[in-house]
Structure 1
Amino acid sequence: MNGIPRWLRWSAALAIAIATSAHAAPDTIRIGVATAGGGDPVTWGGSPGGVARVNNWLEEEFKASGVKVEWLFFKGAGPAVNEALSNKQIDFAYQGDLPQIVGRSNGLKTKLLLVSGARNNLYLVTPTPSDIRSIKDLRDRNVSIFRGTNGHLVAINVLAANGLAERDVKGVNLDVGSAQAALVSNGVDAAFGGYEWFKVRDQGLAKVVYSTQGQDPAFTRQASLLVRSDFEQANPAEVQRVVDVFVRAARWSSDEKNRDELFRIWARSGTPVASWAAEFDQQQLAVRNSPLVDDFIVARYKAVVADALKLKLIRREVSIDDWFDTRYLKASLKKQGLEDYWTAFDAKGQPKKTGSSIASR
């Protein structure tokens, strides 16, 4: 060591310190969820992520490393999550396709890691005594649509398929809780929404007059897990561990023998088991809970971009070809022996006949 100049030793030590610092694990991993959630501790349903949350799988994964896992739930759904991403208040984000696209169009630097809740259905509900019988009856009616969420765009497409434009209804922008209160008090004539409406229906306070169940899968909504690009670049090992846990949760949530227990876990969010049974009626868990970013998912995101641009929900074309980063997903599938577990679907939502295809970007 005596033969090495002091300045060179200092430079080497500084380089090692910088490298060590650059790869040091974060103190906290913060995950934003685009729903207010419910329960104690707060959780959510409809996604394998809710299973990881209830079972503390992420907390267990990082316990030995001394990394804290923090979950943040947003009543303002996707738009509120985008704001948190912009302010770097969260590292990962679980949200739906449209707000993810809107965030990307506004310059948010993220990577889409895996799907965590595919083919979510959309429903139209009305007060029980309503004379509304179909989508076509909505003309000039007060209709709740939670704008900026992944249900917004599907609602517009459903209206279009029935000869109506959004301007043909008197749209009212309400979040889930506000929409329920407005509907049962006759403040609105109808509301678009998801599985949360089954609880209101089962209480005799609403009726479902339209459902996307069993229809064209293009009328479904997709949700996935994002990571901030700068967080991913600085913490690839931690990103891999998060993806590993989400894939583990997806595998468990896709097993039909776990169906009843899965619904009981999701029910801790405040949405009853009966509502989950209705949402997933005659649908395979492995289709809804697959983490694959396959041709169907890519096609749906591209369609969301096109529709959002056409409807002026975004101001400019958004490229998503370099957005899907499935390196971590592929590594996790291989590590857990799940490379052939889930079926990959083509762009139209039909099973691919040969091989599997997940985005290679």
Structure 2
Amino acid sequence: MGIARRELLSWGAATAALAATGARAQGTPSVIRIGVAQPAIGNPPGFYGSSVSIAHAKGWIEEEFKKDGLRVEWFFFKGAGPAVNEAITNRQLDFAFQGDLPAIVARAAGLKTRLILATGVRSNIYLAVPPDSPIQSVKDLRGKRVAIFKGTNAQLPINRLLEANGLTEKDLRAVNLDTATAKAALATKDIDAVFGGLDLIQLRLNNTARIVYTSKGDSPIFTRQGHVLVTDEFAQAHPEITTRVVRAIVRTARWASDDVNRDEVFRLWARTGFPFEVWKEDYDGEPLRVRFNPQFDPLLTARYRDAVEQAYKFKLTRSRFNVDQWIDRRFLNAALKDLKLETYWPEYQADGRINGAS
């Protein structure tokens, strides 16, 4: 699995480990530091749901830089996107894989980053309740104790979903809980419902929860978006290295987008604790190219513009900013050209249609 750092790190431990890397050397760096807005799970430790997670499991970014003697270090954050933002603020990461909302909050606050690659896009959200709960739909959540992992890329689509059903977070007895704590609280009925990801499918398969809503098959505005970003400082100082990191992930995305590899992708992710059947259900009927598409096409760019407006509307940020100036396509375009993949992934228009389709 290469020389990547794979141990599960709490935020406190991650801060200490990252600080130990010291100041960045002048010229070519000796290490590339990648932050992941998820904890590492399983044996060997890994994460899931993106081309970046597959590159990590396969060691393909390490392979890209092996001949240069350049190390790749991975840091995993139980505190998700907000914890990643803190590490970037403290100049302890060069790249990060996280969701749209935490990156938007940081950018609106002045953190200098660039979006360079899409991954983990259009991930579904789910709403689960205890098996014997009277709750049958989102509309039934008024006045209920509902867990939401705030500050993550699930919060915006959840807020949009609530709004579409005539509700806001203020109409709920919303509690901010991380994923593991929320699932435990649902089992003990300390909460009435929980919004989350495909891990809630596993609760249903174990007969410990009932799913009353999924964004699967619903509007893409109710799905979660993810990306890889780089700090302005690193991109300016090391554009060639940045392009090579992107190229390694794009090569991974091409492999993962091939439906011939579907079962292997799900088996890799099953190592992180969610069974093969969970991944199969979540992706059922959906081409892998959809979620592994690395491009910020018009549809995804529109989603990020909307997310900036929604974050401001819901008072999660205090300012707006220009998304088109935030997205830096140069590295991705160079990688796509080098790998001859300029037309491999379909490009979606802002209205959801594929370019060229009537």
TM-score between the two structures when normalised by the length of structure 2:
0.91
Report the Cα distance in structure 2 between the residues aligned to 1:351 and 1:345, rounded to whole angstroms. Answer: 4
Structure 2 counterpart of 1:231, from 231, 234, 240: 234
Q: How many residues get paired?
A: 334
Alignment of 1:124-273 (within 5 A): 124-273=127-276
Give, in whole Å, the separation in 2 of the partners of 1:316 and 1:337.
Answer: 39
SS of residue matched to 1:305: helix
Give the SS at the match of 1:341.
Answer: coil
Question: Given the alignment, which residue of 51, 57, 62 partners 1:59?
Answer: 62
How far did residue 23 of structure 1 move? 7.7
Match of 1:17 in 2: none
Q: Which residue of 1 aligns with 2:288?
A: 285
Gaps spanning 5+ residues in structure 2: where?
Answer: 1-23
Cα offsets for 1:246-298 (capped at 9, x unmatched): 10111011101111000001112222211111111111100111001100111
- Is it true that 1:274 corresponds to 2:274 in the alignment? no
Gaps of 5+ in 1: 1-20, 355-361
2:338 to 311, 329, 335: 335
Give the deviation of 1:318 after TM superposition: 1.9
Matches within 5 A, 1:337-352: 337-352=340-355
CA-based RMSD: 1.3
- CA distance in structure 1 between the partners assigned to 2:26 and 2:170 by the alignment: 52
Alpha-carbon distance, 1:43 to partner: 1.4
Give the SS at the match of 2:326. Answer: coil
Identical amino acids, percent of aligned pairs: 48
Q: Specify the alignment match of 2:94 in structure 1.
A: 91
Mapped contact 1:109–1:228 kept (Cα < 8 A): yes
The Cα shift of 1:91 comes to 0.6
The alpha-carbon deviation at position 319 of structure 1 amounts to 2.0
1:159 is paired with a residue whose SS is helix
| Separation of aligned partners in 1, 2:356 and 2:305 | 22
> How many angstroms does 1:40 deviate by?
3.1
**What secondary structure sits across from 1:26 in the alignment?**
coil
Bigger radius of gyration = 1
SS of match in other structure, 1:322: helix
The whole-number CA distance in structure 2 between the counterparts of 1:294 and 1:249 is: 19
The alpha carbon displacement at 1:25 in A equals 2.1
Hey, what's the Cα distance between the residues in 2 that align with 1:22 and 1:186?
Answer: 52
Aligned partners of 1:238, 1:272: CA distance in 2, in Å?
35
SS in 1 for 2:73: strand
Deviation at 1:22, TM superposition (A): 8.9
Moved more, 279-288 or 39-48: 39-48
Q: Is the alpha carbon distance of 1:190 and 1:22 closer, same or farther for their aligned partners in structure 2, counting shifts above 3 Å?
A: closer
Aligned 8 A contact 1:23 1:234 in 2 = no
1:88 alignment partner AA: R
Shift of 1:42: 2.3
State the Cα deviation string for residues 298-324 of structure 1 (Å, max 9, x = none). 100010111110110001122222111
Per-residue displacement from partner, 1:211-267 (whole Å, max 9, x unpaired)?
111111111111000000101111111111100111011101110111100000111
Map of 1:359 onto structure 2: none
Query: Aligned letter for 1:266?
Result: W
Q: What is aligned with 1:311?
A: 314
Match of 1:302 in 2: 305
1:176-214 CA distances to partner (integer Å, 9 max, x unpaired)? Answer: 111111111111100001111112221111111001111
Q: Equivalent residue of 1:30, what SS?
A: strand
Structure 1 residue aligned with 2:36: 33
SS at match of 1:209: strand
Tell me if structure 1 keeps the 8 A contact 2:160–2:221. Answer: no
What one-letter code is carried by the residue in structure 2 that aligns with 1:305? V
SS in 1 for 2:183: helix
Contact 1:217 1:348 in 2 (8 A): no
Provide the C-alpha distance between the structure 2 equivalents of 1:274 and 1:86, rounded to a whole number of angstroms: 39
Confirm or deny: 8 A CA contact 1:25 1:238 kept in the other structure.
no
Q: Given the alignment of the two structures, is residue 80 of structure 1 paired with residue 102 of structure 2, yes or no?
A: no
1:348 Cα deviation (Å)?
Answer: 2.2
TM-superposed CA distance for 1:37, in Å, is 2.7
| Residues 37 and 84, structure 2, Cα contact 8 Å, conserved in 1 | yes
- Provide the residue aligned with 2:109 in structure 1: 106
Contact 1:139 / 1:168 at 8 angstroms: preserved in 2? yes
* Aligned counterpart, 2:52: 49
Describe the superposition over 1:112-131 as per-residue Cα deviations: whole angstroms up to 9, x where unpaired.
Answer: 00101110111100111111
Moved more, 345-354 or 99-108: 345-354
Tell me the residue number matched to 2:13: none
CA distance in 2, matches of 1:153, 1:147: 9
User: Quick one: distance in 2 between partners of 1:258 and 1:230?
Assistant: 36
1:71 aligns with 2:58: no
